[in-house]
């Protein structure tokens, strides 16, 4: 196949191949779709020895349109030059201190930006930016690659995150967006310390979701006691094999995402009038003891114990003499509950029962 073009100024081309057969004998089976495309091939039309970018010729589009994918999770606009204007939801070098990578969104969607090699524009969260780049895909996530970036207005506030549940995070339209989950608790894993990379699993009444803490993101010490808290985070994807329709997870942008409006707990939050301390031993096999730090005066208070699905397991009366609360790991009928995670006092304390 031959193709001829005569550009008037320095320009670049991308060669894109989309196959309709399998990859045998390289790979057996039909679950791999043959797709290939080159890096931009730059052409010095005027012969001056310098590549002069032709400028963005694409009109600004909604990110939702740019981020559209087919049934296999492959971007419909793969290889196309596009442009968008939006609010940066992370700083430059997010997740990679050596590269110009950040996320931005415009109210219709969010997307990752990867700047041209050896080019890093200093972008701060909240900056209004113009981005022109080539639609590509990295581990299932749609990105604007080889991008040019211009900061239009520094320091403007970004919209509040989209309200979601843990289960709905696994959704292609949420990829690249900042979301907000009203009430989640850590059900496995521990917060990394000292800016180390790590992950925890969060749960609400709808299900579970993984939260990645990238290297360099410092989790405040107050987070160790967080339960039933509101979380703001970024949705990313890490899917190694097609179809690219899985691998969705949350990413913590910084410690402030754990504390909406800057509010940080002075202790473990309980109900409106009850405050519980750290359970011990935890995990437990026999009884678990939970200190009562604050309780209503002159009232007969009680707390409920729920499983990770939000079902009430047991109601326990608070001791009147200030003694700690004790749970023997049994439900209302005296039956020993299954091993797992349970929340005491509306999520004020998380306990783990072992077999």
Mean pLDDT of 320-348: 82
- DSSP, residue by residue, 311-334: -EEEEEEPPTTSPPEEE-SB-TTS
Tell me what the pLDDT averaged over the chain comes to. Answer: 84
Mean pLDDT of 249-255: 92
Which position has the higher pLDDT, 8 or 127?
127
Which of the four pLDDT bands, split at 50, 70 and 90, describes residue 263?
very low
**Distance (Å) of CA 19 to CA 22, 31, 105, 175:** 8, 13, 32, 26
The CATH superfamily label for domain 162-262 reads Nucleic acid-binding proteins (2.40.50.140)
From CA 224, how far away is CA 192, in angstroms rounded? Answer: 10
Residue labelled with tokens 């990238």: 214
Angle at 128 between CA 127 and CA 129, to 5 degrees: 105
pLDDT tens by residue, 141-195: 999 999 999 999 988 778 788 999 999 999 899 999 999 998 899 999 999 987 8
Contacts of 175 by beta carbon, 8 Å cutoff, 6+ apart: 67, 110, 111, 141, 142, 235, 236, 237, 248
CATH 2.60.40 location in the chain = 275-353
pLDDT reported for residue 287: 92
- DSSP, residue by residue, 85-125: EEEESS-TTTT-TTS-EEEEE-SS-EEEEEEPTT------T
Nearest to 82 by CA among 57, 100, 105: 57
CATH 2.40.50.140 location in the chain = 11-153, 162-262
pLDDT tens by residue, 43-91: 998 888 888 777 655 689 999 999 999 999 999 999 999 999 999 999 9
pLDDT tens by residue, 267-279: 333 344 577 777 8
With pLDDT > 90 as the criterion, what percentage of the chain qualifies? 40
Give the 3-state secondary structure of residue 15: coil
Tokens of 322: 């200030």
CATH 2.60.40, applies to 275-353: yes
Which position has the higher pLDDT, 318 or 234?
234
pLDDT tens by residue, 302-313: 788 887 766 788
pLDDT reported for residue 348: 64
Global pTM value: 0.62
CATH 2.40.50.140, applies to 11-153: yes
Q: Is residue 208 scored above 90 in pLDDT?
A: yes
């Amino acid at each position: 196949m031959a193709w001829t073009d005569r550009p008037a100024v320095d320009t670049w081309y991308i060669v894109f191949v989309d196959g309709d057969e399998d990859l045998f004998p390289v790979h057996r089976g039909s679950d791999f779709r043959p797709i290939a495309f080159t890096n931009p091939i730059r052409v010095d039309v005027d012969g001056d020895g310098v590549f002069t970018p032709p400028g963005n010729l694409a009109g600004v589009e909604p990110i939702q349109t740019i981020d559209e994918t087919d049934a296999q999770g492959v971007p419909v606009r793969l290889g196309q030059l596009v442009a968008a204007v939006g609010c940066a939801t992370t700083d430059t070098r997010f997740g990679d201190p050596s590269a110009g990578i950040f996320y931005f969104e415009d109210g219709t969607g969010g997307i990752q930006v990867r700047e041209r090699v050896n080019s890093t524009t200093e972008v701060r969260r909240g900056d209004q930016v113009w981005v022109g780049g080539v639609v590509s895909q990295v581990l299932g996530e749609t990105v604007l690659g080889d991008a040019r970036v211009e900061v239009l207005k520094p320091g403007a506030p970004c919209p509040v995150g989209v309200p979601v549940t843990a289960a709905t995070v696994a959704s292609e339209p949420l990829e690249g967006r900042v979301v907000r989950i009203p009430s989640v608790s850590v059900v496995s894993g521990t917060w990394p310390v000292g800016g180390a990379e790590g992950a925890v699993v969060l749960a609400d009444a709808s299900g579970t979701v993984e939260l990645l803490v990238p290297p360099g993101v410092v989790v405040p010490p107050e987070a160790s006691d967080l339960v039933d808290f509101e979380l703001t985070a970024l949705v990313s994807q890490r899917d190694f094999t097609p179809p690219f329709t899985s691998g969705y997870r949350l990413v913590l942008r910084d410690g402030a995402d754990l504390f909406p409006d800057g509010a940080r707990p002075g202790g473990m939050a309980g109900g409106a009038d009850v405050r519980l301390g750290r359970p011990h031993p935890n995990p437990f096999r026999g009884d678990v003891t939970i200190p009562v730090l604050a309780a209503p005066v002159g009232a007969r208070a009680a707390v409920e114990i729920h499983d990770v699905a939000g079902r009430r397991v047991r109601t326990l009366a608070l001791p009147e003499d200030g003694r700690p609360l004790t749970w023997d790991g049994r439900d209302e009928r005296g039956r020993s509950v299954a091993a797992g995670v349970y929340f005491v006092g509306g999520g004020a304390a998380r306990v783990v029962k072992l077999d």
